[in-house]
Amino acid sequence: MSAPRRPTDPSGLERYYVLTGGRSGPGGAASSLDVATLIVSLTAPHPGMQHEHEDILRRCRDPLSVAELGAHLGLPFNILAVLLADLLEAGRIEARDPIPAHHAGRGPDLALLQEVLSGLERL
């Protein structure tokens, strides 16, 4: 029987390195990912997929925010963003950024604000 050992990597950095293949941040379309971006699966997981990718596809059958995904999977934002970038690139998920109150060039979105207000007043 082997004696109990102290974990060699208590910070989890080694695990993150393996998960992301050493990449520290997403590129391309995923660099705009926000904590409130909604992720929606476009395809079902397939056999042989990286476990975390599979997990993401399963959890995002209904739209789920990046923040919720991070909390459920126990992954920090920047690591999760790398995994999401892979899925985005492969066309397996859709990412919907939060709607801002101002649309570039089109001014404030009064209809959106009214929709938020009505929702709050119903609470």
Partner 1 sequence: MDLKGFDRPGRPAAGGTRSVKVMIAGGFGTGKTTLVRSVSDIKPLTTEETLTQASVGDDHLIGVADKTETTVSLDFGKISLNDSLMLYLFGTPGQERFWFLWNGLFKGALGAIVLVDTRRLASSFRAIEEMERQDVPFVIALNIFPDSKQHPIEEIRDALDISPDIPVVACDARDRASSRDVLIALIRHLKERSAIALEPR
Which residues would be at the binding site for partner 1 (CB under 8 A)? Answer: 11, 13, 16, 24, 32, 34-38, 40-44, 46, 61-63, 65-68, 70-72, 76-79, 96-101, 107-110, 112-121, 123
Which residue, 27 or 61, has its beta carbon nearer to partner 1?
A: 61
Which residue, 4 or 55, has its beta carbon nearer to partner 1?
A: 55
Which residue, 29 or 71, has its beta carbon nearer to partner 1?
A: 71
DSSP labels for 39-99?
EEESS---TT--HHHHHHHHHTSS-EEHHHHHHHHT--HHHHHHHHHHHHHTT-EEEEPPP
Residue 105, token pair as written in the block: 């060039």
